[in-house]
Structure 1
């Protein structure tokens, strides 16, 4: 259904109405992703990205970030300027982007190289970037989940409190920089042109560089999705800094994994697959499943 809390209509209905307002051909639209955003591929090489309710400013900022990063030599997905941006339907902003055909996820080396360049940028002065908020919405996802055992909810809330305290105790002298906020290999894609292209700009913010490094690091340490050589190529491409050797690594890794549980919980009320996956992820965090873990994408 692609329905989001606070919205009375589905994402497909939002798309249909937005396409009419923007004079866009949406016939035969194909769902690319139904995650925190609903994303559709349309005819004529256009991708529609539908935001959460009341996220107009975030959508505006994504458009600005795309232009700013491209001007600074970091290629990103580009907006279709011939369509009004963003188009708002039922309090949900719809942004329109140029399709990137025939692409693959980046390698760890390509991801490390891009992050090194991104983290070296001076934050923009034309518009403000928000501070990265690692716990934003997480407690609410746990408390509001309806397809969860109460014992698991209690443990998750206690784990949330433990991690929040440990996070507050970390060295706060780390210099902040521009970060992507969701830096995994699928958010840096490589088309046949060979130019790695950054996707999903809604979490670009100012924060510790470690937040961008931790996602691939847990792929290595906790899931074994990449080999020793692949992880070392990521470290080398970034400039030699290995976040797994940083004393605060485990705190950030545990927070990141709790966030991934929260994402599954948020979808579990309308998806049996998400409910099953959420239960599995909770069992992993509670030590009932040995590492390396295998988690299914949602």
Structure 2
């Protein structure tokens, strides 16, 4: 297959989706872009189908594991999005991209609550994944340097700062002592990855980050969304901690994990900067300045 073309945007991702579905009964003509990050996520409006288009073939092992995770969760009875049952193997590699097709949980995006996320995490964290799933060990900063090196929207001063920050945070993370057992984690657990289905049931989505690691990582974002950004109120956060049974804000390692996650939020955004979207470019610059100065994160906009 030909190498993926840059930039990765709605149009190039849609080209890959069109090619991937050419021999399938799924017409993407009315596909709506829902999210653009490491993946372009499309909703096929005329069909109960969600398509995820990965940036490059380097994501093939991740996409294969994501499909396997979905199948395992289905067998374990954990509410989660389901991959479409096709006559061909998923993921589909086309135009240098990775495409997977999923059952659409509902016709419109509606997210779960912090308490519902906590219940899903409580169920997930009680499981032992089969060895055949071959989940990787969680390495939060494993891809961060590559993202910094490859981001078009960074100047050299910003790039140098972020490289140094990655080294600093890696050392701090490696020195943490975790309170909860190591085990299976979602990897990107927040209410934005909990979707309501047509029966109003909350489901896990975005399964590509599953790994073996500290359970605190899955509790982190809800604490940050309350404590650092004001995206959850105190009642929502307390409902989350009551259901799960652990308060991240009372754990000594919270600040280090929070800084690590914020760094990843910056490098994730850097993937899409420098490609003509002034809002993304401005938000990225603001976030980098916040990391430099220690300024409040409450003006960070959700993306």
Distance 2:234 2:179 in 1: 30
- 208-217 vs 27-36, which moves further: 27-36
Partner SS state of residue 132, structure 2: coil
- CA-CA distance at 1:141 after TM superposition: 2.3
Q: Where does residue 233 of structure 1 map in the other structure?
A: 239
Cα deviation for residue 110 of structure 1 reads: 0.6
User: For residues 134 and 117 of structure 2, what CA distance do their matches in structure 1 show?
Assistant: 25
Tell me: CA distance 1:153–1:58, structure 2 relative to 1, closer, same or farther (3 Å): closer
Distance change >3 Å, CA 18–CA 104, structure 1 → 2: same
Q: Among 217, 225, 241, which residue is 2:223 paired with?
A: 217
Q: Alignment partner for residue 260 of structure 2, among 255, 259, 268?
A: 255
| Alignment-derived partner of residue 66 in structure 2 | 62
Judging changes above 3 Å, is the alpha-carbon distance between structure 1 residues 166 and 99 closer, same or farther for their aligned structure 2 residues?
same
Residue 20 of structure 2 corresponds to: 18
Deviations 1:82-114 (Å, cap 9, x if unpaired)?
Answer: 352222102322111111214521111111111
1:41 to 27, 39, 43: 43
CA RMSD of aligned residues (A): 2.3
Do the aligned residues in 2 keep the contact of 1:47 with 1:97 (CA within 8 Å)? Answer: yes
Give TM-score scaled by structure 2 length.
0.89
Distance (whole Å) between structure 2 residues aligned to residue 91 and residue 222 of structure 1? 38
Work out the CA distance in 1 between the residues paired with 2:220 and 2:158. Answer: 25
- Using the size of structure 1 for normalisation, the TM-score is 0.91
Unaligned runs of 5+ in 2: none
Please say if 1:294 is aligned against 2:299. yes
What number of residue pairs does the alignment pair up? 294
> In structure 2, how many angstroms separate the alpha carbons of the residues matched to 1:86 and 1:144?
24
Further displaced range: 53-62 or 111-120: 53-62
Equivalent residue for 1:245, pick from 240, 246, 250: 250
Alignment partners' CA distance in 2, 1:204 and 1:17:
28
Structure 1, unaligned runs of 5 or more: none
| Contact 2:118/2:243, CA 8 A, preserved across alignment | yes
- Pair 1:92-2:94 in alignment: no
